Structure 1
Amino acid sequence: MSMTPPPGWYRDPSAPHVERWWDGTAWTEHRRSPEATTPQQPYAQPQFTPSTPTVPLGTGGSGASGGSGRAKAIALTAAAVVLVAAIVTGAVVLRGDDGDPQTQTAPTPTSSAPTSAEPSPSESSSEPSADDPSVVVDELNGITLPLLDGWARPQSVTETDIMMTTSGTYDCPGDDGLCRHGTVISRTVTSNDEKSPETLAKDDISEAADRAYDRNKVNQRPFHGITSHEVVEQGSVAVAGRTGYFVRWRVKTEAGPGGYVQSMAFPSSVGSESMVMVRYAFDAGEEGPPLADMDRITKGIRPVGDEGTGGGVGSSIGPTG
C-alpha cells in the first residue's frame, strides 16, 4: 500500500547530505543544510526485529534429543524468512528530481528509522511548534510570524499560503460569500529570478490588491472591484535579520470601505535563500484590524529556531541576502 507523507523537510534522495522540501505530492527546488536538524526520510521504512521463536522443551531420553533438533531447524527457517522479508522491504519508492517514481535501494540510515507511517519531525527544543499559541510557522520559508490578539490560524480557507486571518467572518458587501477583515499571506517567489526586494515588492503590490479587493481565486468580486488606489508608504525594512522592502497601498472599492494592502519581499535565511513575499490585506474602517498590526507582525517575524533575530520598519537593516 502506498503511503504519501505530509509536506515537510526530508533527506534529499539525490543528495543525502542536504534536506529538500516535499510539498505532499512532489519534490520542490528548496534545499537546506541539515546540521541543525535530525535527518528525515521521505517515506517510512518498516523495520523487522527478528526474535528467537519459542522452542518447546523436551521430556528427556531420545525423544528430547529429537525434539531439540526439530526446534533448531524451525528457528533457523523462521530467521531466514524474516531476513528475506527485511531485504525485500528494503526497497522503497522514492520520487526523483524529474517527478517520476523510481525504485531505489534504501540507504543505510544514520539513525533509527521511524516505525510509524509518517516521518518524525526534526527534533529541536528551540524551534517553535505548530501548537505554540503565540506564533504561526511557515516551515517552507523558514520563518515564524507572531499571532497577535484578534488573529487566528486559518480555518475553512482554500488558499494554502494564508498564514493567519482575523477571527470570524462577515457577509461580503459585493458578490455573495464570506469575507474576513484581515489576512496575512506568505509565499515563495517562483515566477522569476529577480533578487531585488524593492523590484519584487513594487511588481507584486498590484496583484496583491487585486486578489484581496478586486477578483478572488474563484472569480468572485466580493467588493465589486477597486475604483482607485494611492501609495501610503514604501521603503526598506529589516525582516528576520534580512534586508527587505515593502510597499503599502490604500485602495477604495465599489462596495464596502476598501482597505490597505502591503507587499513585502525579503530573502529567506534557509535553503537556497529564495525570495519570500509576505502580503497583508486589512479592511479599512472601524471593523478592520489596527493598521499598526502590519508593523507589529513584520517586527515579530523570526527565522525558525532563532527567537532573537527580528526586524521591522526603522530597525537596523540586516545583512543583504
Structure 2
Amino acid sequence: MSMTPPPGWYRDPSYPLVERWWDGTAWTDHRRQPEVPQQPLVPAPPADSSGSGRARTVALVTAAVVLVAAIVTGGVLLRHDDGGGDGDDKATARTTPAAASSTPDDGPSPSPSGPSPSAGDKSVVVDELNGITFPVLDGWAKPQYAADHDMVLSTPRTYDCPGDPGLCRHGRVDSRTATATDETSPKALAEGDIEDAADSAYGHDLVGSRPFHGITSHSVVKSGSVAVAGRAGYYVRWKVKTGVGPGGYVESLAFQSSVGSQSLVIVRIAIDSGADAPPLSDMDRITAGIRSVGAKDAGGGVGSSIGPSQ
C-alpha cells in the first residue's frame, strides 16, 4: 500500500533546481524558485511520467545534490565544534573508538599452556632445547657468565688452574643434542663421546690452553645401561690422570630426547678428585634426577630399570 503525498511544493523531478506544485494527484505546470526552508522530500511524489530515463537521471542528480549538502553541513558543524564546543563532548568523541573495543588492551595475553611447571623451581635447571631438567644438588648451581653455552650445572667457586693460566671448577655438567652424528644407539654414542668429554674437561679448554697439562692416562671405572627420564640410555665413566693437578672423573651419558625429533642427547659430567670436589656419588644422583620437562616421577639412574626407548 502506497500513500499519496498531500498537495504542495516539491522538487521538480524533471528539474531539481526548482520546485513544482503537486495537486495531490498529478504534477501541474506551476513552478517556482525554492524557498528556505524547503518542503520536505519524504514522502516524495511520483516521478513525472514524461519519460522513465529522464526520471532516473533526475533522481541521480537529486541524490548528488542532497549528498553535497550533507557534506557541507557536516563540515560546518565540525568547525563549530572545534572552535567553541563543549569540552565534555570532545572528550566523549575522543574516547568513543576505545569504548567500541570489546576487549581492553592490557598487554599480551597469557599463553594458553602457561610457563613450564619447572620454570620457577630453583631446585632444578631447565634445558628447554632437550626438554629435560637437572636437579641442583648441594654444592652445585646454575653457572653464571659461563663461556660454554652447553654448561647447565657447575660448582659455584673457581680456582686457579694448576697448568696453563685460567680459572677451573671442581665440577661441571654439560648437555647437548647429538646433531653431528647419524648414530642412533645410546651405547655407541656414549662410547664414542667419552674421549672428547675427557679432553674438554681435562685436556684442552675452549681457547686451546691446557689447564692441567693434558691427560696422561685413563681407566674405565664402569659403564652400562641406565634409564634416564623414563628412556633407555647408556653411560661410560672414566677416571683420568693429568699432567698436573689431582685429575678427576668424566662420564658420558646418552639417551633419547622426548621432544622435537627425539634426537639423542649427550650429558657430560666431570668431577675433580680431591677433598674440595663434590662427592663422586653426585654423578649417579644427577643422572637419577634428570626428568622430562613437567614430569614429576619419570626418573632413572644407574641400576634403575630401563624405560621405553620409543
Range of TM-score over shorter length: 0.5 to 0.7
Instruction: Determine what percentage of the aligned residue pairs are the same residue.
Output: 58
Q: Are 1:132 and 2:142 matched, yes or no?
A: no
Is the 1:114–1:120 contact (alpha carbons within 8 Å) kept by the matching residues of 2?
no
Distance 1:70 1:142, change over 3 A: farther
Task: Give CA deviations for 1:190-239 in whole Å, capped at 9, x if unaligned.
Answer: 11111100000000000000000011111110000000000000000000
1:146 to 1:121, Cα distance in 2 relative to 1, 3 A: farther
Aligned length: 224
Equivalent of residue 147 in structure 2, options 158, 178, 181: 158
Alignment check: 8 A CA contact 1:185 1:279 kept: yes
**Amino acid in structure 2 at the alignment position of 1:264:** L
Runs of 4 or more consecutive aligned structure 1 residues displaced over 3 Å after TM superposition: 63-66, 68-71, 112-116, 119-126
Alignment partner, residue 225 of structure 1? 214
1:200 aligns with 2:189: yes
Cα distance change, pair 121–64 in 1 and its aligned pair in 2 (3 A)? closer
The structure-2 alpha-carbon separation of the partners of 1:122 and 1:143, relative to structure 1 and needing over 3 Å to count, comes to farther
| CA separation of 1:231 and 1:122: change in aligned 2, threshold 3 A | farther
Distance 1:121 1:180 in 2: 39
CA contact (8 A) 1:251 1:259 kept: yes
In the alignment, the residues of structure 1 paired with residue 192 and residue 125 of structure 2 have an alpha-carbon distance, to the nearest angstrom, of: 26
Q: Over the residues paired in the alignment, what is the CA RMSD in angstroms?
A: 3.2
Q: How much has 1:308 moved relative to structure 2?
A: 1.4
CA–CA distance in structure 1, aligned partners of residues 154 and 111 of structure 2 = 26
Local SS of the residue matching 1:145: strand
Q: Match of 2:224, SS? A: strand
Q: TM-score, normalised by structure 1?
A: 0.64
Partners of 1:295 and 1:189 lie apart in 2 by 22
Deviations 1:263-308 (A, max 9, x none): 0000001111010000001001111110000110111111001111
Q: As a proportion of its length, which structure holds more helix?
A: 2
Residue of structure 1 aligned with 2:77, choices 67, 86, 98:
67
Deviations 1:145-168 (CA, angstroms, capped at 9, x unpaired): 000010011112111010010121
Normalization by structure 2: what TM-score? 0.66
- Within a 5 Å distance, the mapping from 1:46-65 to structure 2 comes to none
Q: How does 1:100-179 map to 2 (within 5 A)?
A: 123-124=113-114, 127-129=117-119, 131-179=120-168
Task: Give how far 1:113 is off.
Answer: 11
Which one-letter code corresponds to 1:200 in the other structure?
L
Structure of larger gyration radius: 2
- CA shift, 1:121, in A, is 6.5
Ranges in structure 1 where 5+ consecutive residues have no aligned partner: 1-62, 79-111
1:234-249 map, 5 Å:
234-249=223-238
Structure 2 residue 297 is the aligned partner of structure 1 residue 308: yes
Aligned counterparts, 1:13-52, within 5 A: none
